[in-house]
Structure 1
Amino acid sequence: MQKKNFNKKNLIISGSILIFFMSLMIYALKQDPNFTPSQLVGEKAPIISAPISQGGSFNSENSFNKGRWVVLNFWSSYCVVCRSEAPEIENFYQTISLNSATNPELVSINIQDDKEAISQWQSNYGQTFPVVQDTKGLISIQYGVTGTPETFFIDKNSIVRYRIAGAVNKNIILKFIDWLEKNPNSSQDDATKALMNMRNNS
């Protein structure tokens, strides 16, 4: 009788522990990764010096702190979400970045693909912008990139203001930059909530 009660007690404890850990897993999966802000937020954007897949090289000192926002978009060819984002990034580049020298500048950074893979990707998705090659993943390490796509918003003073984990589109980029400009002292939680509202209403 005692053995039976002991087994029943063990079963209840084991079941409770299992339910607890399953609840933790479900909770974690529901969390927006943007609620875990980049440690670079509020800091000067790290300098980038790297080759461009189409030829030449990129140095961020020619882009950062030049009186315009910089939208730093990290992507890779093995990223499924990047496929749906690709046309939006081209749309932003063509209609915004190229339209005025004071509009936000797009800097596209590919992680660890070779030139052929980047060229094939751009051909498939009709992309025309230059792509900075992070061949060894060192730039993504500098920026603390944990997955692709990730997009960093760097203000006119070369300060990292926010990092979006996940896909973006032209409207979200423009609305979010506008919000960041109007709320220079906002907390990361406030910025994330504003972003979520924009996504829900887009």
Structure 2
Amino acid sequence: MLRIIAGKYRHCLIKQPSKVTTRPTTDRAREALFSSIQFQIEGKEFLDLFSGSGSFCLEALSRGAKHAISVEKSKDVVKIIKENKDLLKETNLEIINTDAISFLKKNNIKKFDYIYLDPPYALKDVLLECLDLITTYDLIKKDGYLLIETNQSDFSYANNGYEIVKVKKYGKIYIYYLQNNSI
């Protein structure tokens, strides 16, 4: 079980998919990430492209986000996200059962305040393809962030005006904050 850390669903436990098929972000890393943006969440739009349990979007909604979209390709995992949504009676979570690249190619107009990417660590090419689609279509609103979780200490990305503006390390994982600095 995972827990929602803060906000209206604080301390609520949600289901987690099998650790064989997903790798949940640790409570510590999720708490630190949300603490770093806590005063910017109210009324914002969130997108999680590799959702797993849906905990990233549910945490954002718990803290006052306006709307969130969880994208997950596994039908079995999508069922768990739906169960978590129903458990919390959350109406502002949209769940889409597709892979991240297909979603980005079909939905290349809507902009988000925050996009979270936490693909399986072995899928570095998928991560870079997602980043290229997001930055090419400019899917981040002004002052918004691309948030990337990876195990790569040497991750780099600078394309279409997007650059890494902050890096945080939590145990063996790194969270990279990317922003469009050309605006």
TM-score normalised by L of structure 1: 0.31
Higher relative helix content: 1
Larger radius of gyration: 1
Higher relative strand content: 2
